[in-house]
Amino acid sequence: MTERTTTRQRRRLAWAVRVRSKMIVLHTAFSLSLAILLLAVLQGPIQEVLRRSGERECRLALADYVRVGTIAELPVEGVSVIEWRPGDPPNMPNLDELLRGSAPEQVISFTTLQGNSGAALRDASGRIIAATADSPVARAIVGKLYLILMVALIGTYAVIALVIEVFILPRHVYQPIERVRRADAAVQAGIRDAELIPEDRIPDDELGDIMRSRNATVRKLRQQEEELERVASELRRKNHLLETARRNMADQDRLVSLGMMSAGIAHELNTPLAVLKGTVEQLAQNDYPTDERARIELIRRVIGRLERLGESLLDFARVRPPLADIVELAPLIDECWTLVRLDRGTRSINFEASVEPGLTIVGDPDRLAQVFVNLIRNASDAMDGRGTIRVSANRSVRDGRPWVSVLIHDSGPGISPDVLPRLFEPFASTRLDANGTGLGLAVAEGIVKEHGGLILARNATHPDHGAVFEVMLPGSEPSIETADK
């Protein structure tokens, strides 16, 4: 058992002890207060009952005295009968004054100075006879009564406390509070599956209202977290776009100068290359030994590479407004793959295109084909003719305008981190051989920019790895017929 688990169990036990002890103290204090109040209320009636009972016994004793005629023969238990004289005993009031004016043998009730009940009369001979109830007997009766009452109250409290602690509080108080505590612990621990209290475990009372309010608060917080994450992701994407735009603006002057220089170099190369090409073709028509013919073919291939380099330099330097035709994307991608397949050895390449039929973009189809052919060809070269190329597209709306993102993903080794920041710069390619000139991506970026779009490159992070090129182009507004479908 880990230290964290032990600490959590100790906290849970401490919580249970605190809540249960508080509840016990509360209903114990309530029961004791009720018992004290009950005893205080009953004390007066009990004393009155005892007083009247003692008075009744005293009257019976005096009635027996009148009937029998002597004190010694009185059999009344618990009652003392005396012949009263002034000052004897000292605990009685002045009976002479109390009985003054009363008829002979008329019984008058009184209370002794100790609080006992008593009765007195004046007989025919003028003697005063007094009877008092025995105080120890009265106190014993009162003690028994209070004892019975206390036992009854304690027994009632024990039954009530047992019912409350075993049946009522665990179900209606302790368990709901424990559910809330566990759900809050799940929120702190990040356990999403346990942070909400199940609806079937929520009672229909005030605690249930608190639980439902808490669940609603947690759901709203999670929705706000998702919204914040979405906004943060969008901000990261826009920051990347802004950084790319800033970098492009910083390089624009240099690229303009480089484009002018490239156009001049291509123009200067065209004339000598044309002369050299014509001369080599004339030489190729003559009969030469095998070694000589191999050298002539090598020169022809070198001249072809120089011609392609000149065309790439002209494409890089050429800035012309593209056409604004509505181009259907799926047939364009298929056509580009056909061109790459005829130009490269692609038998071992699996090409997957998942482009929605009817998805259209706005631009020059020939120039855009040049972009996608270049990107698909680079993906094929990066995999050495073996692997998978996936092309997908999706719609989006940014700043109220429709956009289409085309993603070209290969399963090759990916882009070197050293090359990735300057991938679209001229001559940044590491494959300056028969497969490329180092200007293809720079030309593609220029074409995409001419269309008002953006091209991005990154390495994939899922298990297939490889490189991902994303081309963002303006989309066309849906036609009325498409919108009605």
- Least reliable range by pLDDT among 63-67, 243-247, 470-474: 243-247
Tell me the pTM: 0.41
Instruction: Say if strands 348-354 and 386-398 run parallel, antiparallel, or are unpaired.
Output: parallel
Predicted local distance difference test score (pLDDT) of residue 485: 38
361-380 average pLDDT score: 86
Predicted local distance difference test score (pLDDT) of residue 16: 45
Residue 453 to residues 18, 152, 204, 295, 402, Cα–Cα distance (Å) = 66, 91, 59, 45, 12
405-432 average pLDDT score: 77
Q: By C-alpha distance, which of 27, 52, 123, 141 is closest to 84?
A: 123
Query: Scanning the structure block, which residue is given the tokens 């799940």?
Result: 186
| Residue 52 token pair | 């009247």
Predicted local distance difference test score (pLDDT) of residue 408: 93
Q: Give the tens place of pLDDT for each residue, 167-195.
A: 877 787 878 888 888 888 888 888 888 88
User: What percent of the chain lies above the pLDDT cut of 70?
Assistant: 75
- Least reliable range by pLDDT among 7-16, 61-70, 104-113, 413-422: 7-16
Q: Give the tens place of pLDDT for each residue, 267-292.
A: 556 667 776 777 777 777 777 777 77
Does residue 104 register a pLDDT over 50? Answer: yes
Query: Residue 69 region, left (φ>0) first, then alpha (ψ -120 to 50), else beta?
Result: left
Q: How far apart are CA 110 and CA 130, in angstroms?
A: 10
471-482 average pLDDT score: 67
Q: How far apart are CA 355 and CA 335, in angstroms?
A: 13
Helix, strand, coil content of the chain in percent (nearest 5): 60, 15, 25
Rounded mean pLDDT of the chain? 76
Q: Give the tens place of pLDDT for each residue, 434-461.
A: 455 566 787 788 888 888 888 998 888 7
Amino acid letter, 18: R
Amino acid letter, 170: P
Predicted local distance difference test score (pLDDT) of residue 248: 64
Predicted local distance difference test score (pLDDT) of residue 39: 76
Predicted local distance difference test score (pLDDT) of residue 409: 92
Domains defined along the chain, listed by start: 3-174 (no CATH), 215-319 (1.10.287), 322-485 (3.30.565.10)
In three-state secondary structure terms, 45 is helix
Does residue 4 register a pLDDT over 70? Answer: no
Predicted local distance difference test score (pLDDT) of residue 266: 63
